[in-house]
A and B are shown apart, each in its own frame.
Chain A
Amino acid sequence: MTFEYHNVFIEETSTVAGPYEAKGPLKKYFDKTFDNLYHGEKSWEMAEAKVLEESIDFVLKKAKKSKEDIDVIISGDLMNQITSSCYSSEKFNFPFLGIYSACATSVEGIILGSTLIDSGKVSNVIASTSSHNMSSEKQFRNPTEYGAPKPKTATFTATGGASILLTNENTGIKVESSTIGRILDYNQTDPLHMGSVMAPAAADTIYRHLHDMNRNPEYYDLILTGDLGLYGKEILIDFMKTEYGLDISNNYNDCGVMLYDLETQKEVLAGGSGPVCSALVNYSLVMEMLRKKKMKKVLLVATGALFSPTMVYQHENILSIAHAVSLEVIQ
């Protein structure tokens, strides 16, 4: 399912990032970074909500908009019952839509927001997402102080909050089209190799987007997947070439690999993951490149492993999804 949009634009974006992300190469592009993972709160969960709330504050401030200007906020995160999204949006009193598609949440938010704006029913939409390394570890894996060894293929959930403000007024950066992903099952069962779980979903969505829009990979200055990590990135390039006959190796990268310095930050293993991983890269570095017109056409493909610990313990496969949105600089 691919849509084209006619009057949807990006007004502002905001990023608030945690200590590990601040040590990475993108620090100067973030609006704010913080040192302590508790961030002045009593629990990891409340810390994540606060980070997300700050990112919403930032996007309003940067766009010089007040709370009343926002028609709806679309928000999602990794926590059960999307708690971070709910607790962070409460103080703003925006009409609220909660969404979940794991690490593909950021682009799902952009797609829904853009579709609402394009329908003419609303003018300004915020789409936001967050994740927190510690709250995710606690919910999906082991207690955070437990030092379980992990394989090289494991990824590291990014900490931060990120928001994007979409509008129907021309700002020069257009949300041009989007492709809604499908849920795929490629018999993957390893929760410590999410890149292999998500690569087929990314390949499927990229292929269908290019096919529906009648484009080549070269049409884009950059194609960015969300959080495949070092090995997932290799798998995707190989899989796209052998299965779809498409060579994306020249203009493709992965946000999980870009968010950290993999040489010096050994603790992140294969790279970043989590819904905020792609959002932190897209809403900081990529937006900066678009604003400065260093790139004109970018395809963001957020990839999500629909991972449920319960289903993995029941020996079911891990499902995956990827959503794509195309951004273009217009004259």
Chain B
Amino acid sequence: MLLLGDDMEKKKYEEIVAKHKPTETRGQNAFIAFVTGGIVGVIGQLLTEAYSSWFDISSKDAATFMLVTLIFLASLFTALGFFDKWVTFCKCGLIIPITGFAHSMTSAGIEYRKEGPIFGLGSNIFKLAGSVILYGVVSAWFFGLLRLLIMGG
């Protein structure tokens, strides 16, 4: 007790912390993410089918239209103020699809607009999405290289 802060005491403290740590409902979280992420996938597929039949375009072009639609909706719902509650509930079900990327940019944009177009919006809009873009580009380059070396392009 007098040797406050020594290593033994810190180790014992870790045990006390671990004892009182609540268990997270991981199984339930994964299930919700699986179902909601699946629903987003189904919506995306339906949109792709619909666009290609309505506008008579290739399914590749229709997929681009679908992505733009999902990005627009996620951004609009973020701006309307309820999408963060959906994300908190669905977790990775909405974070992993493109909706998560749109949500991270729009929320940062809303947050920093008070600091003006340059020092606020411009410098902060990629605050969360910046990592996704950087490592997305890096991994695209890396896998592109692998494909070239293994499959010859």
> Could you tell me which A residues sit within 8 Å of B by CB distance?
42-43, 138, 142-153, 184-188, 193, 196, 200, 204, 231, 234-235, 238-239, 242-245
Contacts and interface: CB of A to CB of B under 8 A. Distances in A.
B86 A145 contact: no
Interface of B: 1, 4-5, 9-10, 12-14, 16-17, 19-22, 24, 29, 78-79, 81, 83-88, 91, 103-104, 106-108, 110-112, 114, 127-128
Nearest to A146: B107
Given A204-B4, A231-B20, A231-B22, A145 B13 contact: no
Nearest to A232: B20
A186 B111 CA distance: 34
Contact of A142 (B9, B12, B91, B107): B107
Contacts of B114: 42-43
Nearest to B86: A147
A143 B110 contact: yes
Given A235-B20, A238-B16, A238-B20, A143 B85 contact: no
Nearest to B23: A152
Contacts of B4: 204
B14 A147 contact: no
B106 A187 contact: no
Given A145-B106, A149-B87, A243-B1, 15 more contacts: A143-B107, A146-B104, A147-B83, A147-B84, A149-B29, A151-B24, A153-B21, A153-B22, A186-B10, A187-B10, A204-B4, A239-B16, A242-B16, A243-B13, A244-B1
A96 B32 CA distance: 52
A150 B91 CA distance: 10
A271 to B, nearest CB: 13
Contacts of A150: 88
A145 B111 contact: yes
Contacts of A234: 20
A244 B4 CA distance: 10
* Interface of chain B: mostly helix, strand, loop or mixed: helix
A235 B17 contact: yes
A147 B22 contact: no
Nearest to A144: B111
Contact of B85 (A147, A185, A186, A242): A147
B107 A243 contact: no
Contacts of A145: 78-79, 81, 83-84, 106-107, 110-111
Contacts of A193: 17, 21
A239 B19 CA distance: 11
Contacts of B24: 151-152
Contact of A148 (B13, B88, B106): B88
A318 to B, nearest CB: 13
Nearest to A187: B10
A238 B19 CA distance: 10
A193 B10 CA distance: 16
B103 A146 contact: yes
Nearest to B17: A196
B8 to A, nearest CB: 11
A186 B91 CA distance: 31
B108 A243 contact: no
Contacts of A242: 12, 16
B16 A147 contact: no
A231 B24 CA distance: 13
Most buried by A among B12, B17, B81, B87: B17
A43 B128 CA distance: 21
A231 B19 CA distance: 10
16 contacts: A143-B112, A144-B107, A145-B79, A145-B81, A145-B83, A145-B111, A146-B104, A147-B85, A149-B29, A153-B21, A185-B5, A187-B10, A204-B4, A235-B16, A238-B16, A243-B9
Contacts of A188: 17
A72 B4 CA distance: 36
A146 B100 CA distance: 9
B103 A147 contact: yes
Nearest to A137: B111
